[in-house]
Structures are given as C-alpha cells and as structure tokens.
A and B are shown apart, each in its own frame.
Chain A
Amino acid sequence: MSAVIVIVAIGLLGVSGLPGLFFGPRSPVGERVAATLVLAGSILGLGAAFAGMGKTAVFARSWAVPGGDLALRVDGLAAMFLVPLFVVSSLGSIYGLEYWAAREHAADGRKLRAFYGLMSAGIAVVFVAHNAVLFLAGWETMAIAAFMSITTEDEREGVRHSGYVYLVATRVSTLLLFAMFAVLHAKTGSWDFAPPGRPMDSSAATAVFVLGLLGFGIKAGLMPLHVWLPGAHANAPSHVSALMSGVLIKTGIYGIARVCSFLDRPPIGWGVALLLAGSVSGVLGVAFAIGQHDLKRLLAYHSVENIGIIIMGLGVAMLGRATESPTLVTLGVAGGLLHVWNHALFKALLFLSAGAVLHSTEAREIDQLGGLAKTMPRTALAFLFGAVAICGLPPLNGFVSELFVYLGLFHGLRVDSLWILSAIGVPALALIGALALACFVKAYGAVFLGQGRSDRVSHAHDPGLSMLGPMALLGVACTFIGLVPLAVEPVLRSATNSWAPELAPAASPLDVLSPLRLLSAAGGSLLALLAAGAVLVWRAPDPSRGLTWDCGYAAPSRRMQYTSSSFAESLVGFFSWALRPSVHGAAPAGLFPSPTTFHSHVPDTVLDRALIPLSSAGARALRWFRWVQHGNVQLYLVYILATLFVLILMGR
C-alpha cells in the first residue's frame, strides 16, 4: 500500500512542472501549480515513508521492457533517503516562487520548473527501484534533468562549461553502472538490485564493488571523482543547487550503501578503502573550499567534504561487518546516514541563504560583499545556523552525526586489527572539523560581518516570506535534530536493520551506545546558559558607541578590512601542494609606488590541472587521424564496398 502512495508521490513530483508549459511565460499560474503539486507529492511521500518505518513495502508488475519486472522496494534504507528528497524539493520549489519568479525569468522559468520536477522524480525512482533497468531509467532521467536545470542560464559561458563537464562525468558514471549491472547479471542471473541469492566468487564481488564505488562515487562527488561538482553547484540556480547538493549526490551514497550490503562478511579491504577514501575526500574537500572566493563554489566544495564524512561512517560500518562487530555497524550506519539527513538540511539552508544574498546583491564574490548582517538580518541568521551546523558544533545537528562517527572510530581503537585505521580516521575527522570552522568563519564573517567592501551591497534587503519560510523551517529542523536526537533513533534503527539484517538481533540500540538523552540535556543546558547570558547583556546599561579601534590611523576605509583571501592565506599555503593556487600581481615597488593589482585564484586541481590538459593532449594526438574524415562522399561509399568485400571473403 505504501509503495503505491510513493508511486503516486513520484508521479506528482514528475509532472509538477508540465502544466506550467501550457501557460504564458510570465503567468504566475504555472509556478503556483508546480509548487502545489510538489508540496502535495512531498507530503504524501513523507507520510508513506514514515508510516512504513520498519517494514518493507514491495510493488512488482511485469512490463514490456526486457530485463526483469517493474519492481519497487521501499525499505528502511530507501525511506531514510526519501525523506530528505521530499523535504528539500518541496522547500526549494516554494523558494523558487520568489527566487526565480515567472515575471522576472520569462525565458527560462518554465523550463526550469519542468526539469526540477523531473529531477526530483528521477531521484525518487533511483531510491525505490528494485530492478536494474528501472534503476538505470531513473538514474538517466535524474542525470539529464539535472543537466538541463544546471544550464538554465545557458547564455553565460561559465554555465555552459560547467554543464558540459557535468554531462561528461555523468555519462562516465552511467557507463560504469552499466558494467556493474552486467557483471551482477552474469554472476547471479537476476536483474535485481539486491543482495544476490547465490554467493558470488570474490573476484566478481570485488569487480562489482570497484565498479560501484567508481560509478556511484562520481555521482556522489568523492575526491578525485568530484570534478563536476564545484562548477555545477556554483552555476545552477540556488534552489537547484540545494536539491543537487542535498539529495542528488546522495544517490551516489545510496548506491554505495546498497552495493556494500551485498555481502554478509565483506572483505576488510572494502571498509579500509571506504574509510581512506572518505578521509581524503573530507580533508581535501575542505582544503579546496578554504581557497574559494566565490560563495557558491565554496559551499560546493563543502559538499565534497561532507560526502567524505558520510563515506567514513559507511567505512566504519563495513569494518564492523567484516569483523562481525554489531557496535561498529550500528554507530557507523547511524553516523553516515544521519549525516545524510543533516547535510541535506544544513546544506540546503546554506544554499538558500546564499541564493538570497545573490538575489539581492547580484554578487557571488565574497570579497565584494560584507556587512550584510545589518541590512539582511534574517538571512544572516539563517546562514549562521547553517554555518554552525556544518562545522559540527553543538547544539546543532552536525555534531550528533559526527559524534556517532567518532564513537565508531573510538570503538575501533579497541579492536586489534582496526586501531591503525581509527588512528588515521580520528585526527582526519578532527582536522576536517577545524578546517571547516575556519572556512565558515571566513565565509560568514566576510559576507555578513564588518563593512561592505563594494557598492554591490548598497541595495541589499531581506527577501520575502516564500524565500525566508523554507530557510526558517530548515533551521528549525537542524536545531530539532541537534537537541532531540532521540527522535531520529527509530529511523536509524530501521535503516540499520534493513542494511545489515543478520546483525540486528545482536546489536545494542543506539541510545545505549551513545548518550542521546544526555546530549539533549547538554544542549538544553547550553541554551539555558546562553539565555541567561543574553538576559544579562540586555539588562546591562546601554553602551556608548564609537569607531572600531584603528591604532590611531585617522582615515580607515572599508577596503582595509581583512578580506576572505587574506583570512585563508596561511591555510591555503599549508595545502598549496594540493591546491596549487595561481597568483597574479606585483608587489608595490619604490618609495612612491604606482598602483598595482593582486589577484589569486584556486582552480580545481583535478579538473583544471590534470583532466583538461590531458584531454587536450589526447585530442591533439588524435588529430593525426583526421585524414580519415575527408568529407568526400564517394570515398565513404568505397569504405562500405570494401567492407562488403571483406565480409564476403570472410563468409566463405
């Protein structure tokens, strides 16, 4: 029953943008219909997902397509991923009513809404598909719809470039998935995306794992397969970026989680690979983020970092499965999957507030902004919530999921075969947390605090309710999960049981392994102390006002403030072996120097310094074969004739 409701919800999401195509480009009817349909579908889907918690709903029907039946399966793991999809897509659709209003964006608004709905529906099909062909159909729909959504403003060159990079990356990932399903079918004879009925030999299992890790890793944005992520997230409209960063990259995580569940006792190498890949992705992701000066690119790199944290959690869970330790499995799955929810929530919050800034100031460059907390106080508060959450600071939700991963790693310390991995994982996670804090203080401080650095901020103002409402809801959700983590424990238990059913009886529940109630108490007491302090500050006599201390310099200007690039300079220097920043500028020379400029930029090392030069070199090498394509129709026909002769001769 709940499977049918989920299908209806998916259908509503998919068609949400289509009625708008029949109305005029500037008509508000289309966008309101789209938002209503998305909201209705999301409420239905959320209801079905929560109602079916702990049970598995299956829907199977035969169809005309070869390769198995039309089979859907909504179990604990799928429900865990469906919830953020429905939440983020509905809030994003409401956000888009003002952010991409039909009146202002007549040329591309209807196209955007149509593909937004299709992308959401495609993602949902990916999460519930039980049959490989259905899975790939949903995967492709999601990928193409995402491409069309990213390139909404395709009159800009940067948007086109990032769209093409995304397209190439998603084609490669689909090919790898085709290969993985082919191996699965060859070894097990079924087209089901489920643990195989027959045991597979280890080389086939390793092939499936590697292909799955690479194919799904490209979509998830695991370093160094992340090359499409920064450009795509930066250049898409902000609510599309929120949906992509919050949910679309999680389809990669879902795929990896499913593939990892195929073996009951996986080789320990799988867990090691996941843990190391997650650590590298986390550290380098946040290192790249620190060097960015474009607000949305910075947020995109943080997605790479958080995917690393999620993969680390899954790695801990896999290590637990390999060593048959239910504690590690529970903590690892809880940490990884709760971080999926948390990341969807706070990353969507960050992208929506960054979008509000962009909408109001038309600037994405951090070093042209500043002082926006005075003119856009509500947006600043929303961004602050998102920033505190993404740094994993108590009392918000990021801390809870990172705590689970830490606990899992610490438990691994006590196991003889795993302590080295924990000894690598814990400092990596601590480093990630500290770097993320530095990066978000830089972003929040440079954009919202201090003074405006250019004239772009002069007309900044808070957006209206349809943009502020979703941000407020997301902020409340982050706070709720952070203060009352016990509320999500049933969801996590259901997901763990469906992922590793054989360990379910022996596993201790999550609230025994980790102090969920005490966390709530700690969070509550922190808030109480803060409230008490706030009251003290309010009651204090009104302070007098003056200028900031400037060491006696008589004429401070707004350009003298610390910029975001200056803030990040030493950290970028630490990581310059990976970041390879490009710096242009001359130091002022002489006693009365003439004006000079300075410009620094951190391109994506894997894309801009490795892949693109390699492919250009490859294209140059292949140009030698151009003589085959001479454009002469007659010679092309001679090729056909020659092939015929060869076939006749071979046939004899």
Chain B
Amino acid sequence: MTTEPILSPAVHVLIALIFPPLLLGVINRTKAAFAGRQGPPLLQPYYDLFKLARKGSVLSTTTTWVFRASPVIGLATALLASLLVPFGGQESPVSFAGDLILFAYLFGLARFFTVSAALDTGSAFEGMGGAREATFACLAEPALFLGLMVLVKRTASLSLTTMLGTAVAAQWRSAGAALVLVVVSLFVVLLAENCRVPVDDPNTHLELTMIHEVMVLDHSGPAFGMILYGASLKLFALGALVVDIAVPLRTGNRAVDLGVFLVGMMLLSVVIGVVESTMARLRLHQVPSLLVAACLLSAFAIVLAARG
C-alpha cells in the first residue's frame, strides 16, 4: 500500500507520544491494589502533566541556563531514542547499523545534563543524588551493552529493528536459556535506569535516600512536567526492549503485533508494580552488587549464546 511508508512511522510516533504516561498509571494502580487501596485513576499522570503545564515556575538564583536546558534535553533525547526502538517487532522509523549504540548514548546525554542541573543548584542533596545516579550508571551501561551483545551474536545484525524483529522468535527455540538471562538482566537495568524499587523509591520523601527524585527537587511548573514526561518515555523505550524479547509473537499482521505489544507493556508495568510492592529498597551500597549480578547474567548469556 502506498500509505505504508508514512502510516507505519506515524503510528509509531503516535504510540510513543501518547502511551508512556499510561504505564505510570498502571504501576501506581498495581501498587495501590497490593496495599489494599483503590488508588489514583489510570489516567492520573496525564492530568498531572496538564496541570503542571499551566503552573508557574520558580527558579533558584544559583542556577544558570544549564538548569533550564536539562528538562528540554531529557525530553528531546527520550523522543529520539523512542524512534529507534521497534514496537512489537515492527520496523522503527529510524534504523541503521549501530543504532543501539546511539540509543544508549542518547540516554547518556540526558544523564549528563540532568546531573549537571542537579549540581547547578548548589544544594548538597541534589549533589548527593547526582553522585549516586552517575555511579550507578557506570554499572548499568555495561549491563545494557552485554545484554544487547547476546542479541547481536545470535542474530548477526547490528540494528535494533532486525535484532528485535522476526528473528527473535527463532532464537527462542535455539538459545532460549540465554534469552531468559538477557530478559532478567535487561529488566534489572530497566529498574536501575528508571529509578524504581529496589534501586530507588520514587515515593520516598527523605532527601537523604533519594536518587532521581532529589535531582529534580528544584524544578517546577512546565519544566517539571517535561521531566516527568521524559522519564515515562524512557521507561517506555527501555521497556519496549524487554517486551520485544520476552513476547516474541510476530504474526506479520501489523495491528495484531502492535496490540500484543501494548498489552505486553501493560503487563510489564504490572510486573514492575508487583516488584515495587513486594521488595524493599536496597541499601545504597548493595545496589552495585545487584547491577554487577545483572552484568554477570548477561556475560553468562553470551557464553551460552556462543555455544549454540
């Protein structure tokens, strides 16, 4: 069909723009269910974003333009990264050999400016959060790359679209064990990068125990809205990696695949909610051990993948 070349990317972009805050809603609803509460409505994050967009903002006198730029950079990089990931095995709008490296480093760019903005405020709390974020990223990045390397080895391709496309179903038959390890490892990376329990508690109010929350303490109004939206986009993009591997259904029918993918993302959010409700946050000096364990799982997966 002649509309295919335009329709497919347009659908992809629409999903990427509209869907992510719903994930946060599902997570919060799951946690509430575990706690025996009714919890906020599913669409609450959207209401929050609209409210923040209308609010005024307060800037600290210590800050410079870096502080105002960081939410913009976080959002722009998350948008661009979401264009690289295939949803449900469908071709992503932008795909080329080596796009997985661009994917990882775009989030690195966002992290650079988020942590710089935290240091810009001249507050001890935000510096603490920034230091923790930068430290944990040093272990999460290798884990992410190791996990993706397994896919590169098995599918002999260097682009996310081909790695997570139709080839994945075949790989489950031939290297299922390795793929299970990869899914677990990438799930841990997902929790670490998006500051979920057990790495960080998004609902804590104690500055001394926060990581991500404390870094954005001084943002307010539309900027804070951009940060929240960008964080949900990042959760969506990284979650898409996990779901694409874990749910290898590729019927070839675009609507079915996308539908299955979206259901998979909801299930992923439920799983995250369950994990957050059943586990306590790890003590800060234990977090590196968790991330190193994720690295080791992926490394073991590579060895398994090389054998087959």
Binding site for B on A (CB under 8 A): 370-371, 373-374, 377, 380, 384, 387-388, 391-394, 399, 402-403, 406-407, 410-411, 413-414, 419, 422-423, 426-427, 430-431, 433-435, 437-438, 440-442, 444-446, 449-451, 513-515, 518-519, 521-522, 525-526, 529-530, 533-534, 536-537, 540-541, 543-551, 556, 558, 560-562, 566-571, 574
Contacts and interface: CB of A to CB of B under 8 A. Distances in A.
Interface of B: 56-64, 66, 68-69, 72-73, 75-77, 79-80, 94, 96-99, 101-102, 104-106, 108-109, 111-112, 115-116, 118-128, 130-132, 134-135, 137-142, 144-146, 149, 152-153, 156, 158, 207, 217-218, 220-223, 226, 288, 295, 299, 302, 306
Contacts of A393: 105, 108-109, 112
Given A430-B145, A530-B72, A540 B222 contact: yes
A513 B144 CA distance: 23
Nearest to B72: A533
A288 to B, nearest CB: 15
A446 B66 CA distance: 14
A558 B122 contact: yes
A537 B72 CA distance: 8
Contacts of A402: 101
Contacts, number: 233
Contact of A449 (B80, B119, B135): B119
A560 B124 contact: yes
A533 B222 CA distance: 12
A437 B125 contact: no
A438 B134 contact: yes
B124 A433 contact: no
A442 to B, nearest CB: 8
Contact of B97 (A407, A442, A549): A407
Given A388-B112, A445-B120, A543-B221, A430 B72 contact: no
B57 A543 contact: yes
A556 B62 CA distance: 12
B142 A431 contact: yes
A449 B66 CA distance: 9
Contacts of B97: 407, 513-515
Contact of B64 (A373, A399, A440, A518): A373
B59 A515 contact: no
Contacts of A434: 108, 137-142
A347 B141 CA distance: 24
A546 B60 contact: yes
Given A426-B145, A449-B116, A562-B130, A407 B105 contact: no
B79 A423 contact: no
Contact of B56 (A407, A537, A541): A541
Contact of B131 (A413, A544, A570): A570
B59 A545 contact: yes
Contacts of B120: 445, 449-450
A534 B69 contact: yes
A451 B124 CA distance: 11
A410 B153 CA distance: 8
- Residue among A387, A513, A543 with max Cβ neighbours from chain B (10 Å): A543
Q: 9 smallest A-B Cβ distances: which pairs?
A: A562-B127, A445-B119, A533-B72, A515-B96, A450-B122, A438-B134, A529-B76, A427-B142, A434-B138
A433 B106 CA distance: 12
B175 to A, nearest CB: 14
| Secondary structure class of chain A's binding surface, majority of residues | helix
B135 A534 contact: no
Contact of A567 (B134, B140, B142): B134
B59 to A, nearest CB: 5
Given A374-B64, A394-B109, A445-B130, A433 B141 contact: yes
A433 B119 contact: no
23 contacts: A373-B66, A413-B152, A426-B145, A426-B149, A430-B141, A430-B142, A431-B141, A434-B142, A437-B111, A437-B112, A438-B134, A513-B97, A526-B106, A533-B226, A543-B57, A543-B58, A547-B61, A548-B122, A561-B122, A562-B124, A567-B119, A570-B131, A574-B288
Contacts of A560: 124
B283 to A, nearest CB: 13
Given A446-B119, A526-B76, A562-B127, A427 B105 contact: no
B116 A562 contact: no
B68 to A, nearest CB: 6
A409 to B, nearest CB: 9
Nearest to B131: A567
B80 A525 contact: yes
A448 to B, nearest CB: 8
B138 A450 contact: no
B149 A562 contact: no
B119 A549 contact: no
A452 to B, nearest CB: 10
Contacts of B104: 430
Contacts of B141: 430-431, 433-434
Contact of A391 (B56, B108, B126, B158): B108
Contacts of A441: 112, 115-116, 119, 130, 134
B98 A515 contact: yes
Contacts of A525: 80
B122 A451 contact: yes
Nearest to B107: A393
A514 B159 CA distance: 11
Nearest to B287: A570
Nearest to B77: A526
A548 B121 contact: yes
- Residue among B68, B122, B124 with max Cβ neighbours from chain A (10 Å): B122
A394 to B, nearest CB: 6
Contacts of A384: 66
A430 B144 contact: yes
Given A392-B105, A410-B158, A430-B145, A449 B59 contact: no
Contact of A450 (B62, B96, B217): B62
A427 B149 CA distance: 9
B288 A550 contact: no
A394 B130 contact: no
A493 B97 CA distance: 19
Contacts of A450: 62, 119-122, 127
A551 B101 CA distance: 39
Nearest to B122: A450
A394 B102 contact: yes
Contacts of A551: 125, 207
B72 A534 contact: yes
A566 B60 contact: no
A388 B109 contact: yes
A536 B158 CA distance: 36
A256 B120 CA distance: 42
B293 to A, nearest CB: 14
A577 B124 CA distance: 28
Contact of B295 (A373, A427, A513, A536): A427
A569 to B, nearest CB: 7
A522 B102 contact: yes
A447 to B, nearest CB: 10
Given A393-B109, A394-B109, A543 B56 contact: yes
A388 B110 CA distance: 11
Contacts of B123: 548-550, 556, 561-562
B203 to A, nearest CB: 18
B11 to A, nearest CB: 19
Given A388-B109, A414-B156, A441-B112, 5 more contacts: A446-B119, A450-B119, A522-B102, A549-B218, A567-B134
Nearest to A405: B101
Contacts of B126: 562
Contacts of A514: 97-98
A351 B113 CA distance: 21
B201 to A, nearest CB: 18
A371 B140 CA distance: 30
Given A546-B60, A567-B134, A571-B138, A433 B112 contact: no
